[in-house]
Structure 1
Amino acid sequence: MASGNISLTERQAVLLTVAFYMFSTCAMVLANKYALNAMPVAWLLLWCQMAIAVLLLKVTEAFGVLRMPQINLVTAKALIPLITINVLGLGVNTLCLIYVDTSFYQVARGLVLPFTVIFAYAFLRQSSSKTVLIACFIVFCGFYTGVTSDINVSSLGVFFGIVSSITTSLHAIVIKQSLSAVNNSSIDLVYYNNLLSFIVITPIILFSGEISAVSEHYAQEGSAVLHKFFFGVILTGVLGFMVNLAGFLQISKTSPTTHMISGAVRGVLQTFLGYMVFSEVITFGRMAGIVLILAGGALYTWAKDQEMRANTKPTYIPMTQQDIDEEDQDGHKA
């Protein structure tokens, strides 16, 4: 009876973790779109988000929840590739969201899986099975269907979506290489990533002309637009911190397969939330593209799960006294 209670608690913990991840990531995209609709200043929004994330990390340290690392110049230099990819990725993600609807965001960034497979082979020499390649082809068909069937799609938004897919794919590879620089501490990496990205984005704001854009919006529309934007900034800053925490929790509490499946479900929720919150139009072509992208992702998840099962060596359990005697003599069961 006790074991049943423990099992139920574990299942509840997994469900809550996955729900927390999906809620925070969906809310993050919607809050970003809300702030960008008020003022399309992508780099300023990111700069504020980084500042809030660093502040909240420091607050958790002050309350003894987490411990932040001391900034080390050698470590910071080792993380330059990660910071570069992170800043570029966040920038194009946000710029993509300026030019496309939240319901089309899933399609615009739909090539993450094919680029991940390509870069895994190019940089890590990881070959892929035929099933994985078929999954990538289905995803590409979904991207092509969604982009070509929607007459109102922004070419610039699609371009930023493709670059975002590239940076997202590279980000996973760079993270693996960067963890060794922080003694494999995910929390240390999150802190370095947010703080150094905040520093790098600061001069970008100064040269992007976004400060002047804020002044122009204020002169034309008054303080209401500033209130709307900064409310969105605070909301996205808090949600950004939650996304970092949610991703860490989900990866630690669930399997990679569950993580990918929840990401696919999140894409569907994000699409329909965009439709309901911002009254966006979901065309048949757009929906067909999303379905194909998710189908390709589901096939990829299944294929990788089968590969992991095949590569897992079954545990040998002696069943008879003769088995035990033979194991004692040989040291192992042949």
Structure 2
Amino acid sequence: MPTASSLGLTERQAVILTVSFYMVTALIMVSCNKWALNTLQLPWLLLWCQMLIAVLLLKATDAAGMLKMPHIRTDVSKALIPLISINVLGLGVNTLCLVYVDTSFYQIARGLVLPFTVIFAYILLGQPSSKMVLGSCFIVFCGFYTGVTTELNVSQLGVFFGIVSSITTSLHAIVIKKSLGAVNNSSIDLVYYNNFLSLLVTTPIVFLSGEVTLVLERLEDAGFQAFHSFLAAALVTGIFGFLVNLAGFMQISKTSPTTHMISGAVRGVLQTLLGYFAFGDIITSGRLMGIVLILSGGALYTWAKDKEMQANAKPTYIPMTQQDVDHDDDDGDRNHAGKA
């Protein structure tokens, strides 16, 4: 992969370009997902298309000699069953949440990632948290509660899927760390196994959900042009899903987890504006207050963990996202490939 110096960029310019690339691809991914689901509510078929495209693109990079994809092994696949299970469940509830809530409310519905991460880190890993971190979790919870309780027409099912999504995202970060050992700490190998095996698991779900039957029945209708728009959106989201993986790897390799969290907060603000201007979402005062509190809690968490990292020779922060987990492993095994 080209370096900043080989492209004639300074380190600062490379960081700015990398962070911008991550935020743009992530925003396009969310907006295209919403576009596809507004066209046709086929969440599992959309996920299946995205995974298929990701696998094909990964194989293309292997054929082009850019990245080396592993051969699928049975013993490794068995070791990754917990990861694949949580990944498929998480992707499913993420998409279902987006079906039932607005783009701007999506951040509130999935706003409990940080509190659940801290809870599971303590229960499963025995990692205690400082009072400042617990305070940031309380602020995030207040933001979630404010956003949910002040909405008059919020979908309770959408909120439920958002809460489950927060839980799976939190567990995913922990399981990722444990799963890296099965692929010799190669995050690129883990990306390929994750996409390939998740594609296999999702295939029967697509048929059992009845979405394929629905498409086949309505394909005969002359007015079923919406499916073509859905396929176009699925293609775009599949490509940008692949780019989000690449962008996440580039961001972590060029920046720190703190920078990644800050860029995630900025992305949340831009996502809210995107929902307002592109999809006509109504930004109520309660929704706005909820988003502000969630972002403020995240900012306090970032500040508290940054202070802890400065005070300790080895960072001991609790990872909030999958990218943070990858960065932890980079500290132990310098500069191995990252996963978004």
TM over 0.5: yes
SS of 2:24's equivalent? helix
Identify if the C-alpha distance between structure 1 residues 272 and 200 changes in structure 2 by more than 3 Å, giving closer, same or farther. same
For residues 137 and 91 of structure 1, the distance between their equivalents in structure 2, rounded to whole angstroms, comes to 27
**Secondary structure of the corresponding residue to residue 225 of structure 2:** helix
Partners of 2:18 and 2:163 in 1: CA distance: 30
Question: What TM-score do the two structures reach when normalised by structure 1?
Answer: 0.90
Indicate the residue corresponding to 1:79 in structure 2: 80
Name stretches of at least 5 consecutive residues in structure 1 with no aligned partner.
Answer: 1-5, 314-334
Per-residue deviation, 1:8? 6.7
What does 1:188-203 correspond to in 2, within 5 Å? 188-203=189-204
Relative distance call for 1:108 and 1:231 in structure 2 (3 A) is same
AA at the equivalent of 1:28 = M
What amino acid sits opposite 1:300 in the alignment?
A: Y
Q: Aligned partners of 2:133 and 2:8: how far apart in 1?
A: 33
**Residue 333 of structure 2 aligns with which residue?**
none
Matched, 1:106 2:107: yes
Residue 331 of structure 1: aligned partner: none
Q: CA deviation at 1:227?
A: 1.2
Q: Would you say how many aligned residue pairs link Structure 1 and Structure 2?
A: 310
Matches within 5 A, 1:134-145: 134-145=135-146
- State the shift of 1:212 in Å: 2.4
Letter in 2 for 1:72: R
Residue type of the alignment partner of 2:64: F
- TM-score, normalising length: structure 2: 0.88
Corresponding residue for residue 285 of structure 1: 286
Q: Deviations over 1:85-106 (max 9, x none)?
A: 0000000000000000000000
Aligned 1:47-86 pairs, distance under 5 A: 47-86=48-87
TM-superposed deviation, 1:217:
5.0
CA displacement at 1:62 relative to structure 2: 1.1
The code of the aligned residue for 1:208 comes to: S
Structure 2 spans left out of the alignment, 5+ residues: 1-6, 315-340
Number of the residue aligned with 2:45? 44
* Change beyond 3 A, Cα 1:200–1:271: same
Identity rate, percent? 71
Q: Who is 2:243 aligned against?
A: 242
| AA in 2 matched with 1:210 | E
Say whether 1:214 aligns with 2:206.
no
- Alpha-carbon distance, 1:218 to partner: 4.3
Q: Decide whether aligned partners of structure 1 residues 8 and 205 sit closer, same or farther in structure 2, where only a CA change above 3 A counts.
A: closer
Q: Which moved more, 1:274-283 or 1:167-176?
A: 274-283
Matched, 1:30 2:31: yes
Contact 2:207–2:213 (CA<8 Å) still a contact in 1?
Answer: no
Describe the superposition over 1:186-233 as per-residue Cα deviations: whole angstroms up to 9, x where unpaired.
Answer: 110000000000000001011111112324554667242011100101
Q: Contact conserved, 1:179 with 1:186, CA < 8 A, in 2?
A: yes
The alignment yields a C-alpha RMSD, in angstroms, of 1.8
Shift of 1:292: 0.1
SS at match of 2:10: helix
Partner of 1:120: 121
Decide which structure has greater helix share: 1
Tell which structure's C-alpha radius of gyration is larger: 1
CA deviation vs aligned residue, 1:124-166 (integer Å, no higher than 9, x gap): 1000000000000000000000000010110000000000000
Aligned to 1:225: 226
State the AA in 1 paired with 2:41.
P
**Cα–Cα, structure 1 residues 140 and 72, in superposed 2: closer, same or farther, change >3 Å?**
same
CA positional deviation for 1:115? 0.1
Distance of 1:238 and 1:71 partners within structure 2: 23
The answer on whether the counterparts of 1:85 and 1:167 sit within 8 Å (CA) in structure 2 is yes
1:176 maps onto 2:197 in alignment: no
Q: Is the 8 A contact 1:39 1:214 kept in 2?
A: no
Change (3 A) 1:123 1:261: same
8 Å contact kept, 1:218–1:225: no
